[in-house]
Amino acid sequence: MTSCTGCNVALGFKKYNFQKQWRVSGYFCKECMKEIGQDFDDHGKITLPKRSCDSCHQDFFFLTTTWQNKKRHRCCNVCKDLVDIEATSAKYTEEPYFPPVPSRIPIMMAIFAAFGVLLMIAGLAYVVVVAPQQDANILHIIVGSSMTGAGFMLARKMVKVRNIVLGKLSTS
């Protein structure tokens, strides 16, 4: 599930993002979209500072203030409900906390990759077996090669996503 880049609230099916000419990346909830858009309209650029959450050390536009042990902490919408903010922030002072890398690939990803391989084999079989038996029609060859290419592209994309998920390939 995607979270808001402004306040880290979990977004459902309603995600808002700015057009490319604004040069503001990420998905936003409706309230953050209004605030950032108003700031852009007022100043011609985004002047709102991105602050680091005291617990997870990730940068957000809008943080909530939480008091614990007579100390003020600025936390995102997820971390504000933690029992002990200082205990979690002490572990991750150097770098932000990211969820652990899964040990296996997700089942849906494996299904899509298998569908890509199946489509690639079916397209190749169509070109080699079915197309020569029909009339010498270029349409049969185009259909078979398109199936093969689509299957290859789908399988290749799933392997790349799998490597990113397992941490073997960086996103940048």
- Report which of 33, 32, 34, 89 is spatially closest to residue 62, judged by C-alpha positions: 32
What are the residue ranges spanned by the domains of the chain? Answer: 20-91, 107-165
Q: What is the mean pLDDT of the chain?
A: 76
Q: What is the pTM of this model?
A: 0.45
pLDDT score for 84: 60
Q: pLDDT of 32-53, one tens digit each?
A: 888 888 888 888 888 888 888 8
Most confident of 15-24, 61-70, 102-111: 61-70
pLDDT score for 96: 53
pLDDT at 103 exceeding the cut of 70:
no
Question: 49 to each of 15, 53, 61, 66, 154, how far by Cα in Å?
Answer: 22, 12, 6, 19, 40
